[in-house]
Structure formats: structure tokens, C-alpha cells
Amino acid sequence: MATQRISKGKWAFWLLMASVAAIVFALILRPEPVWVDLAPVERGPMEVTILEEGKTRVKDRYLISSPVAGYIHRVQLDVGDAVIPGELLTFVDPTPASILDARTRAEAEARAAAAQAALQSIQQKVQAAEADAEFAQNEYQRLLALEESRFVSTEQLQQAKSTAARAQAILRSARFDEEVAAHELAAAQTRLQISTASSNGQKPAERVAVRSPVNGAVLALVRQSEGVIQAGEPILEVGDPGALEVVVEVLSFDAVKLEPGLGVRLSGWGGPVLEATVRRIEPIGFEDVSALGVEEQRVQVIADMVSPREQWRQLGDGYRVDADFILWQSEDTLQVPTSAIFEYNGASAVFMVESETARHQTVTTGPSNGLMTQVTQGLQEGVRVVRHPGRGLEDGDQVRVR
């Protein structure tokens, strides 16, 4: 009996040892869990933008030059000084005018007639611009009155507001052109008058006044000191700082994604975030060298201010801004980190983690901003996915979070 008990005890011992050995071998041969980084699938606002650096520019710039050859008096204005139409800028003492021969006089009379015709043409454009501006303002006021009754969408109201602002800017530009054409006509007539006085033995004007053609400010002083000056030589540059536009140089690859009317967000200039809209994408590109020495093809994009003048009153000509072109945006969309998405059999896929196990999941994606990507099918909010999945990770692998 004692021998039988010893024999059974040995069998039980060896059976226990064999079980322990099997468990140890199973643990040794079991694959090690893959270390991964996880990120949740979540809902929230998302937008796709193109960020580039731009600068402000006065829309209508006028380079004022000397109407006659002679001796210019010192310009007493400084850059930034305000000017009004007809304001005296400086004097030019003309050199004695020679009597015009028949051909030169005929040319001068033709130039005066051309200036007169140009003025009349611009006056017609001003009337057309006034009609367009009045119609755009009336349309905006009509839609604004319908806003409370919900018969008009916010997008239509914003578009009407933007159209009214552009129409006002076009009207201001047309009026500036009218003022410039009037002064060009006066300059052409002055030459004839002085020459006529010389031919009749009368004393010509002792000095010619150079006046501002527009309402604005001095943007640059080309010639400030007194001295001899030739006809047509530039003196100073004026413009209206209240009519600013933004010039942004974008890569040609990105320029094809833009279109007139696209929203632009301006920041990084030291004030509040401003709104603007794309007015024109220039059809001609140019070559530029980046800070890293890479040759790039770029295109100039022009945007108009939409935000009220009070918000960007401190902006001036040539100021730097950061321009965000808003290609797509949503206030609430399901999104996942772009680093979690990979290509699998021609489709987009991710690895979901359920009970510490990686599961392959095919997804349908939407727009992406580089960091986050919209998911339209295949995932639900709160699901955890693997970021930067390695090549060795497969469906069903055990994972461990770093």
C-alpha cells in the first residue's frame, strides 16, 4: 500500500511539473505585444487652409511728375501727410518756353483733345460705377431687411455685403481716375497756354503749381530737394491708405485650388484677425527662390478687405500679414489623425484597438489638412486607432500602449 501511494505521488509530481513546463513554454513562445501610440476618433471643428505670407498694398497709387522742365522748389511734405484734391504740393519755375512750330502745336492740341476725350470716357465709367454701387447697396439693404424673417441665408447676406464693398471700391477707383484725367487735361492745356503767351509777346506764367490729384496721403518722396528738373521726372507718390488690398504670393500648385470670392483670414499683423475675399488670381506665374534656396513657381493672388475699416485702421501700405485661404471648413465633423491612415489594397484603412488587440478597418475619408482627416464611413466617435502603424503590425496582433 505504501508503495502504491509513493507511485501515485510521483505521477502527480511529474504531471504537475509537465504542466508547469508547458505553461512556461507557452509563455516563452507567445508573441510579444507590439508597442503602439493610440489616438481617439473624435468630433469637432475642422478646416482645410493654405497659409502664405502676404503684404498690404494701396490699390490706387499715383506717381506725380513735373509737368514742365525747370527749377523745382523744395517739397515741404513728409511721407504719411494727408493731401486733398487740388492741394498745392510744390512749385516748378519753368524754363522760358519756346514758340511751338506748326507741327508741334498740332501735336499739343491733339494731346489736349485726347485728354478731353479720356476725361469724358472716364466720367461715363464713373456714372456706371455709381449705378452698380447703388444697386449693390440697395440689394444688401434688401437682404438685410429679410434676415430676421429667415427668407435669406447668412451666406447670401455675406455675399451681398462683399459685393457692395467691392462696388464701392470700384467707384472710388473710378473717381480717382476721373480726377487724374482732369489734371492731365489741365497739364496739356497749360502747355498750349504758355506757348500762346510766348508767341503773342505776353509774359508767361512765372511758376507752375503741382497739385494733388486725389484725396489720400503721401506714400513716397522721390524728389524732395529743390533743383533743376526735367518734364515728366517723378516728384512724389500719393494714394488712399483707406483703400487697401492684400497681395499674396502662393505656389502655383496651390493657386489652382483658389477662385475669386474665396474667404481669406488675415492674422499675424499685430491686430485682430481680419476677413478678406479673393478678388483676382493672376494668370501669369514667376520664379522665386525660397529661404532654403529652392526654386519655386509662384502666382500673385489679390484679396480685398471685408472687415470694417475700424479694425484695420493701423494697417498701412507694405505691411506684412499671414493669409489663410479657407478651402473647406466644418463646425462639427468626425475626424482622425492623418498619421493613423494608410493605404491597403487601394483603399484607406486604420488599425482599431479593441481589448488590447489591433483590428484592421477600412475607412472612407474626406478632406485633410495634414494633421487631421475627415472620416465619413468606417469609424465611430470614441474608437481608438493606432498612430504611425509599423509595417510589422497585422490584424489580430496584441498591442501595448506606450
Cα angle, residue 58 at apex, residues 184 and 221 outer, rounded to 5°: 65
Q: List, in sequence order, the alpha helices (H) in 301-402.
A: none
All three cell numbers of 91, joined, read: 512749385
Polymer length of the chain: 402
Using 50, 70 and 90 to split pLDDT, how confident is the model at 24?
low
Q: What topology is assigned to 61-94+206-239 in CATH?
A: OB fold (Dihydrolipoamide Acetyltransferase, E2P) (2.40.50)
Report which residue type is found at 83. Answer: V
**What average pLDDT does this structure show over 336-357?**
89
Domain residue extents for the chain: 34-44+331-401, 49-56+242-329, 61-94+206-239, 97-203
If one compares 177 and 248, the residue with the highest pLDDT of the two is 248
Contact assessment for residue 389 and residue 36, using Cβ atoms and an 8 Å cutoff: yes
Q: Is the pLDDT of residue 281 over 90?
A: yes
Out of 3.20.20.105, 2.40.420.20, 1.10.540.10, 3.90.650.10, the CATH code matching 34-44+331-401 is 2.40.420.20
Let me know: does 288 contact 315? Beta carbons within 8 Å.
no
If you average pLDDT over every residue of the chain, what do you get? 83
Burial zone of 26 (CB within 10 Å; 0-12 exposed, 13-18 middle, 19+ buried): exposed
**Nearest residue to 276 via CA among 257, 258, 298:** 258
49-56+242-329 in CATH: which number? 2.40.30.170
Per-residue pLDDT tens over the stretch 285-328: 998 888 788 888 999 999 999 999 899 988 888 899 999 999 99
Cell digits for 219? 506714400
The residue written with cell numbers 473624435 in the block is 42
pLDDT of residue 201: 46
- DSSP secondary structure code for residue 275 in this structure: E
Q: CA-CA distance, 169 to 397, in Å (whole number)?
A: 64
What the block records as the C-alpha cell of 18 is 509537465
Q: What is the pLDDT of residues 76-111, one digit of tens each?
A: 888 888 898 888 999 888 775 555 567 767 777 777
Contact 301, 280 (CB under 8 A): yes
